Structure 1
Amino acid sequence: MAEDAGALTRFYASPHGKVVTTTLRTRLRALWPVVPGTRTLGLGYALPYLRVWRTEPRDRTVACLPVQMGPARWPRHRPNLACVAEEDRLPFPDLHFDRVLMVHALEHAGQTRRMLREAWRVLKDDGRLIVVVPNRTGWWAYAERTPFGHGRPFSADQLARLLEATMFRALRRDGALYLPPFAWRPLLRTAGAWERLGRRLGPRLAGVVIVEASKDMYAAIPAAEAAPARRRVMTAVDSG
Protein backbone atom coordinates (compact mmCIF):
# COMPACT_ATOMS: atom_id res chain seq x y z
CA MET A 1 0.00 0.00 0.00
CA ALA A 2 1.27 3.45 -0.90
CA GLU A 3 2.27 5.84 1.82
CA ASP A 4 0.06 8.84 2.44
CA ALA A 5 1.14 12.00 0.62
CA GLY A 6 0.92 13.95 3.86
CA ALA A 7 3.41 11.63 5.57
CA LEU A 8 5.78 11.92 2.60
CA THR A 9 5.51 15.70 2.67
CA ARG A 10 6.40 15.75 6.37
CA PHE A 11 9.39 13.46 5.86
CA TYR A 12 10.82 15.60 3.07
CA ALA A 13 10.37 18.73 5.16
CA SER A 14 12.50 17.21 7.95
CA PRO A 15 16.32 17.49 8.17
CA HIS A 16 16.53 13.80 7.23
CA GLY A 17 14.32 14.32 4.19
CA LYS A 18 16.27 17.36 3.05
CA VAL A 19 19.51 15.36 3.04
CA VAL A 20 17.79 12.63 1.00
CA THR A 21 16.49 15.24 -1.44
CA THR A 22 19.89 16.83 -1.94
CA THR A 23 21.59 13.46 -2.40
CA LEU A 24 19.12 12.10 -4.95
CA ARG A 25 18.88 15.38 -6.85
CA THR A 26 22.62 15.24 -7.41
CA ARG A 27 22.40 11.80 -9.03
CA LEU A 28 19.30 12.64 -11.07
CA ARG A 29 20.83 15.86 -12.38
CA ALA A 30 23.91 13.91 -13.48
CA LEU A 31 21.71 11.49 -15.44
CA TRP A 32 19.40 14.14 -16.87
CA PRO A 33 20.97 17.54 -17.47
CA VAL A 34 18.62 20.48 -17.83
CA VAL A 35 17.28 20.85 -21.38
CA PRO A 36 15.03 23.93 -21.79
CA GLY A 37 11.56 23.21 -23.10
CA THR A 38 11.55 19.56 -22.03
CA ARG A 39 8.25 18.01 -20.96
CA THR A 40 8.78 16.02 -17.75
CA LEU A 41 6.25 13.95 -15.78
CA GLY A 42 6.84 12.92 -12.18
CA LEU A 43 4.92 9.75 -11.21
CA GLY A 44 4.39 8.68 -7.61
CA TYR A 45 5.77 11.15 -5.10
CA ALA A 46 8.46 12.76 -7.22
CA LEU A 47 7.68 16.31 -6.06
CA PRO A 48 10.95 17.00 -4.17
CA TYR A 49 13.00 16.14 -7.26
CA LEU A 50 11.11 17.81 -10.09
CA ARG A 51 12.53 21.24 -9.29
CA VAL A 52 15.82 20.07 -10.82
CA TRP A 53 14.35 20.49 -14.31
CA ARG A 54 11.82 23.27 -13.76
CA THR A 55 14.29 26.10 -14.26
CA GLU A 56 12.19 28.39 -16.44
CA PRO A 57 8.48 28.84 -17.31
CA ARG A 58 8.67 26.99 -20.62
CA ASP A 59 9.99 23.83 -18.94
CA ARG A 60 6.68 21.93 -18.86
CA THR A 61 7.06 19.79 -15.74
CA VAL A 62 4.03 18.26 -14.03
CA ALA A 63 3.38 15.68 -11.30
CA CYS A 64 0.85 12.87 -10.97
CA LEU A 65 0.21 11.02 -7.70
CA PRO A 66 -1.67 7.70 -7.46
CA VAL A 67 -5.14 7.92 -5.93
CA GLN A 68 -4.17 5.64 -3.03
CA MET A 69 -1.47 8.13 -2.05
CA GLY A 70 -3.77 11.14 -2.09
CA PRO A 71 -3.29 14.71 -3.32
CA ALA A 72 -0.38 17.06 -2.72
CA ARG A 73 0.32 20.54 -3.96
CA TRP A 74 3.31 21.30 -6.18
CA PRO A 75 5.07 23.65 -6.58
CA ARG A 76 4.56 25.64 -3.41
CA HIS A 77 3.34 29.24 -3.68
CA ARG A 78 2.73 28.86 -7.44
CA PRO A 79 -0.10 27.60 -9.63
CA ASN A 80 -0.63 23.90 -8.91
CA LEU A 81 0.89 21.46 -11.41
CA ALA A 82 0.09 18.21 -9.57
CA CYS A 83 -2.87 15.91 -10.12
CA VAL A 84 -4.17 12.58 -8.83
CA ALA A 85 -5.02 9.62 -11.07
CA GLU A 86 -5.37 5.84 -11.23
CA GLU A 87 -1.93 4.28 -11.76
CA ASP A 88 -3.07 2.56 -14.98
CA ARG A 89 -5.13 5.47 -16.36
CA LEU A 90 -3.00 8.57 -16.59
CA PRO A 91 -4.83 11.70 -17.79
CA PHE A 92 -2.32 12.53 -20.51
CA PRO A 93 -2.28 11.92 -24.27
CA ASP A 94 -0.06 9.40 -26.03
CA LEU A 95 3.56 10.35 -26.75
CA HIS A 96 3.32 13.54 -24.68
CA PHE A 97 6.42 13.61 -22.44
CA ASP A 98 10.15 13.70 -23.15
CA ARG A 99 10.95 12.33 -19.70
CA VAL A 100 9.11 10.35 -17.03
CA LEU A 101 10.52 10.13 -13.48
CA MET A 102 9.09 7.51 -11.11
CA VAL A 103 9.86 7.89 -7.39
CA HIS A 104 7.82 6.26 -4.58
CA ALA A 105 5.73 4.76 -7.36
CA LEU A 106 6.62 1.30 -8.62
CA GLU A 107 7.23 -0.27 -5.19
CA HIS A 108 3.66 0.70 -4.17
CA ALA A 109 1.89 -0.14 -7.42
CA GLY A 110 -0.97 -2.61 -7.35
CA GLN A 111 -0.15 -3.57 -10.95
CA THR A 112 3.49 -2.78 -11.72
CA ARG A 113 3.28 -3.77 -15.39
CA ARG A 114 0.20 -1.66 -16.02
CA MET A 115 1.84 1.35 -14.41
CA LEU A 116 4.92 0.93 -16.59
CA ARG A 117 2.83 0.46 -19.73
CA GLU A 118 1.06 3.72 -18.99
CA ALA A 119 4.45 5.39 -18.65
CA TRP A 120 5.36 3.79 -22.02
CA ARG A 121 2.21 5.16 -23.59
CA VAL A 122 2.68 8.80 -22.52
CA LEU A 123 6.43 8.83 -23.25
CA LYS A 124 7.67 9.97 -26.65
CA ASP A 125 9.33 7.37 -28.85
CA ASP A 126 12.75 8.93 -28.18
CA GLY A 127 11.94 9.76 -24.56
CA ARG A 128 13.62 8.56 -21.38
CA LEU A 129 12.34 6.96 -18.18
CA ILE A 130 14.05 6.96 -14.78
CA VAL A 131 12.80 4.64 -12.05
CA VAL A 132 13.96 5.04 -8.44
CA VAL A 133 13.10 2.16 -6.08
CA PRO A 134 14.34 0.89 -2.71
CA ASN A 135 17.32 -1.45 -3.10
CA ARG A 136 16.50 -4.86 -1.62
CA THR A 137 20.16 -5.39 -0.64
CA GLY A 138 20.51 -1.96 1.00
CA TRP A 139 19.71 -0.66 4.49
CA TRP A 140 16.96 1.76 3.52
CA ALA A 141 14.51 -0.92 2.36
CA TYR A 142 14.21 -2.04 6.00
CA ALA A 143 14.04 1.39 7.63
CA GLU A 144 10.30 1.84 8.19
CA ARG A 145 10.72 5.37 9.52
CA THR A 146 11.63 6.49 6.01
CA PRO A 147 9.51 6.30 2.83
CA PHE A 148 11.97 3.81 1.33
CA GLY A 149 11.16 1.24 4.02
CA HIS A 150 7.68 0.62 2.62
CA GLY A 151 6.47 -1.28 -0.41
CA ARG A 152 8.33 -3.81 -2.53
CA PRO A 153 12.12 -3.35 -2.88
CA PHE A 154 13.96 -4.37 -6.04
CA SER A 155 17.45 -5.39 -7.03
CA ALA A 156 18.89 -3.72 -10.13
CA ASP A 157 18.52 -6.98 -12.08
CA GLN A 158 14.88 -7.41 -11.02
CA LEU A 159 14.04 -3.88 -12.09
CA ALA A 160 15.82 -4.27 -15.42
CA ARG A 161 13.91 -7.49 -16.16
CA LEU A 162 10.60 -5.84 -15.27
CA LEU A 163 11.38 -2.94 -17.59
CA GLU A 164 12.27 -5.31 -20.41
CA ALA A 165 8.98 -7.18 -19.88
CA THR A 166 7.08 -3.92 -20.40
CA MET A 167 8.83 -2.85 -23.62
CA PHE A 168 11.59 -0.72 -22.12
CA ARG A 169 15.34 -1.13 -22.55
CA ALA A 170 17.58 -0.41 -19.57
CA LEU A 171 20.33 2.05 -20.54
CA ARG A 172 22.10 2.95 -17.29
CA ARG A 173 22.10 1.70 -13.73
CA ASP A 174 23.01 3.80 -10.73
CA GLY A 175 22.53 3.95 -6.98
CA ALA A 176 22.35 6.51 -4.19
CA LEU A 177 21.79 6.87 -0.43
CA TYR A 178 24.80 5.07 0.98
CA LEU A 179 24.28 6.99 4.22
CA PRO A 180 22.80 4.79 7.00
CA PRO A 181 19.03 5.52 7.26
CA PHE A 182 19.10 7.23 10.65
CA ALA A 183 17.98 10.79 11.41
CA TRP A 184 20.95 11.55 13.68
CA ARG A 185 22.10 15.07 12.87
CA PRO A 186 25.89 14.45 13.19
CA LEU A 187 25.46 11.51 10.79
CA LEU A 188 23.42 13.59 8.33
CA ARG A 189 26.25 16.11 8.13
CA THR A 190 28.52 13.38 6.73
CA ALA A 191 26.16 12.39 3.88
CA GLY A 192 28.55 13.58 1.16
CA ALA A 193 31.40 11.47 2.50
CA TRP A 194 29.15 8.40 2.69
CA GLU A 195 28.12 8.86 -0.95
CA ARG A 196 31.71 9.14 -2.14
CA LEU A 197 32.73 6.05 -0.17
CA GLY A 198 29.69 4.06 -1.23
CA ARG A 199 30.20 4.74 -4.92
CA ARG A 200 33.67 3.21 -4.61
CA LEU A 201 32.45 0.15 -2.72
CA GLY A 202 29.63 -0.73 -5.14
CA PRO A 203 25.90 -0.26 -5.83
CA ARG A 204 24.75 -3.25 -3.76
CA LEU A 205 25.10 -1.08 -0.65
CA ALA A 206 23.03 1.81 -2.04
CA GLY A 207 19.72 2.66 -0.42
CA VAL A 208 17.99 3.05 -3.78
CA VAL A 209 18.38 1.59 -7.24
CA ILE A 210 18.19 4.04 -10.15
CA VAL A 211 17.64 2.76 -13.69
CA GLU A 212 17.33 4.90 -16.80
CA ALA A 213 15.49 3.31 -19.73
CA SER A 214 14.25 4.04 -23.22
CA LYS A 215 11.30 2.63 -25.11
CA ASP A 216 12.13 -0.62 -26.87
CA MET A 217 10.47 0.06 -30.20
CA TYR A 218 11.42 -3.36 -31.62
CA ALA A 219 9.51 -5.07 -28.81
CA ALA A 220 6.36 -3.36 -30.08
CA ILE A 221 6.61 -4.89 -33.58
CA PRO A 222 4.36 -7.94 -34.04
CA ALA A 223 6.59 -10.98 -34.66
CA ALA A 224 4.54 -12.17 -37.65
CA GLU A 225 4.87 -8.90 -39.52
CA ALA A 226 6.80 -9.13 -42.77
CA ALA A 227 10.12 -7.31 -43.03
CA PRO A 228 9.10 -4.64 -45.57
CA ALA A 229 5.87 -3.81 -43.73
CA ARG A 230 5.62 -0.60 -41.75
CA ARG A 231 6.49 -0.76 -38.09
CA ARG A 232 3.54 -0.79 -35.71
CA VAL A 233 3.93 0.93 -32.34
CA MET A 234 1.71 -0.11 -29.47
CA THR A 235 0.26 2.79 -27.51
CA ALA A 236 -2.73 1.13 -25.90
CA VAL A 237 -2.54 -0.27 -22.37
CA ASP A 238 -2.55 -4.07 -22.36
CA SER A 239 -5.14 -5.60 -20.10
CA GLY A 240 -2.49 -8.02 -18.86
Structure 2
Amino acid sequence: MHSDIVDLRSFYSTTLGRLAERSITMALSSIWAAVPNERLVGLGYTLPWLERFGADAERVFAFMPATQGAVVWPTTGPTATALVFDEELPLVDSCIDRVLLVHSLE
Protein backbone atom coordinates (compact mmCIF):
# COMPACT_ATOMS: atom_id res chain seq x y z
CA MET A 1 0.00 0.00 0.00
CA HIS A 2 1.43 3.34 -1.01
CA SER A 3 1.23 6.52 1.00
CA ASP A 4 -1.30 9.04 -0.26
CA ILE A 5 0.00 11.88 -2.46
CA VAL A 6 -1.63 14.49 -0.21
CA ASP A 7 0.17 13.09 2.85
CA LEU A 8 3.51 12.93 1.02
CA ARG A 9 3.30 16.52 -0.22
CA SER A 10 2.27 17.64 3.24
CA PHE A 11 5.20 15.80 4.86
CA TYR A 12 7.80 17.22 2.47
CA SER A 13 6.56 20.74 3.17
CA THR A 14 7.43 20.37 6.88
CA THR A 15 10.82 21.00 8.47
CA LEU A 16 11.35 17.26 9.00
CA GLY A 17 10.37 16.58 5.39
CA ARG A 18 12.83 19.16 4.07
CA LEU A 19 15.58 17.61 6.22
CA ALA A 20 14.71 14.16 4.87
CA GLU A 21 14.76 15.51 1.31
CA ARG A 22 18.16 17.10 1.86
CA SER A 23 19.56 13.91 3.40
CA ILE A 24 18.33 11.77 0.50
CA THR A 25 19.68 14.31 -1.99
CA MET A 26 23.13 14.17 -0.38
CA ALA A 27 23.12 10.36 -0.47
CA LEU A 28 22.04 10.30 -4.12
CA SER A 29 24.54 12.99 -5.12
CA SER A 30 27.40 10.76 -4.05
CA ILE A 31 26.39 8.11 -6.57
CA TRP A 32 24.53 10.21 -9.16
CA ALA A 33 26.70 13.24 -9.78
CA ALA A 34 24.86 13.88 -13.04
CA VAL A 35 22.69 12.03 -15.53
CA PRO A 36 23.68 13.75 -18.78
CA ASN A 37 21.66 12.72 -21.82
CA GLU A 38 20.07 9.81 -19.98
CA ARG A 39 16.43 8.84 -19.67
CA LEU A 40 15.29 8.92 -16.06
CA VAL A 41 12.09 7.59 -14.49
CA GLY A 42 11.02 8.25 -10.95
CA LEU A 43 8.57 5.76 -9.46
CA GLY A 44 6.71 6.78 -6.32
CA TYR A 45 6.98 10.29 -4.90
CA THR A 46 10.21 11.40 -6.58
CA LEU A 47 9.46 14.98 -7.61
CA PRO A 48 11.98 16.70 -5.30
CA TRP A 49 14.79 14.59 -6.78
CA LEU A 50 13.64 14.54 -10.39
CA GLU A 51 13.84 18.32 -10.43
CA ARG A 52 17.44 18.19 -9.22
CA PHE A 53 18.81 15.19 -11.08
CA GLY A 54 16.69 15.55 -14.20
CA ALA A 55 18.06 18.93 -15.22
CA ASP A 56 20.75 17.36 -17.42
CA ALA A 57 18.75 14.32 -18.49
CA GLU A 58 17.51 13.76 -22.03
CA ARG A 59 14.05 12.90 -20.74
CA VAL A 60 12.45 12.63 -17.30
CA PHE A 61 9.19 10.95 -16.30
CA ALA A 62 7.43 10.86 -12.94
CA PHE A 63 5.49 7.61 -12.62
CA MET A 64 3.11 7.74 -9.68
CA PRO A 65 1.41 4.56 -8.47
CA ALA A 66 -2.36 4.48 -8.91
CA THR A 67 -2.82 3.67 -5.21
CA GLN A 68 -0.78 6.76 -4.27
CA GLY A 69 -2.37 9.30 -6.58
CA ALA A 70 -0.66 11.82 -8.81
CA VAL A 71 -0.01 15.50 -9.30
CA VAL A 72 0.82 17.37 -12.47
CA TRP A 73 4.57 17.82 -12.92
CA PRO A 74 6.28 19.94 -13.97
CA THR A 75 3.99 22.86 -13.29
CA THR A 76 5.16 24.63 -16.46
CA GLY A 77 5.55 23.08 -19.88
CA PRO A 78 4.37 19.66 -21.01
CA THR A 79 3.41 17.27 -18.23
CA ALA A 80 5.78 14.39 -17.52
CA THR A 81 3.60 12.61 -14.95
CA ALA A 82 1.83 9.31 -15.49
CA LEU A 83 -0.46 7.46 -13.12
CA VAL A 84 0.67 3.82 -13.35
CA PHE A 85 0.10 0.36 -11.95
CA ASP A 86 3.30 -1.01 -10.38
CA GLU A 87 3.03 -4.30 -12.23
CA GLU A 88 2.31 -2.71 -15.63
CA LEU A 89 4.71 0.14 -16.30
CA PRO A 90 4.18 1.70 -19.75
CA LEU A 91 7.74 1.11 -20.94
CA VAL A 92 9.37 -1.00 -23.60
CA ASP A 93 12.57 -2.91 -22.90
CA SER A 94 15.80 -0.89 -22.66
CA CYS A 95 14.14 2.51 -23.02
CA ILE A 96 15.21 3.89 -19.61
CA ASP A 97 18.74 4.42 -18.32
CA ARG A 98 17.99 5.03 -14.62
CA VAL A 99 15.08 4.47 -12.27
CA LEU A 100 14.67 6.27 -8.97
CA LEU A 101 12.34 4.67 -6.40
CA VAL A 102 11.13 6.75 -3.47
CA HIS A 103 8.05 5.75 -1.45
CA SER A 104 7.54 2.99 -3.96
CA LEU A 105 8.35 -0.15 -1.98
CA GLU A 106 6.35 0.65 1.13
TM-score by length of 2: 0.89
Would the aligned equivalents of 1:6 and 1:72 in 2 still touch at CA under 8 Å?
no
Q: How many residues align?
A: 106
Corresponding residue for residue 196 of structure 1? none
Q: Give 1:6 shift.
A: 1.2
Deviations 1:56-113 (A, max 9, x none): 4x53111101101111222233432111111100112111111011110112xxxxxx
Greater RCO, 1 or 2 (C-alpha within 8 Å, sep 6+): 2
Deviations 1:141-181 (A, max 9, x none): xxxxxxxxxxxxxxxxxxxxxxxxxxxxxxxxxxxxxxxxx
Structure-2 separation of matches of 1:29 and 1:60: 19
Moved over 6 A (4+): none
Structure-2 separation of matches of 1:23 and 1:75: 23
Q: Give 1:31 shift.
A: 0.9
Q: Give 1:41 shift.
A: 0.6
Unaligned runs of 5+ residues in structure 1 are 108-240
Corresponding residue for residue 22 of structure 1? 22
Would the aligned equivalents of 1:43 and 1:100 in 2 still touch at CA under 8 Å?
yes
Would the aligned equivalents of 1:44 and 1:102 in 2 still touch at CA under 8 Å?
yes
Structure-2 separation of matches of 1:2 and 1:55: 27
Secondary structure of 2:53's counterpart equals coil
Corresponding residue for residue 50 of structure 1? 50
Judged with a 3 Å threshold, the aligned counterparts in structure 2 of structure 1 residues 38 and 21 are, in CA distance, closer, same or farther, namely same
Q: Give 1:46 shift.
A: 1.4
Secondary structure of 1:106's counterpart equals coil
- Counterpart amino acid of 1:32? W
Correspondence 1:30-41 to 2 at 5 A: 30-41=30-41
Structure number with greater Rg is 1
- Counterpart amino acid of 1:33? A
Would the aligned equivalents of 2:35 and 2:54 in 1 still touch at CA under 8 Å?
no
TM-score by length of 1: 0.42
Corresponding residue for residue 5 of structure 1? 5
Would the aligned equivalents of 1:53 and 1:61 in 2 still touch at CA under 8 Å?
no
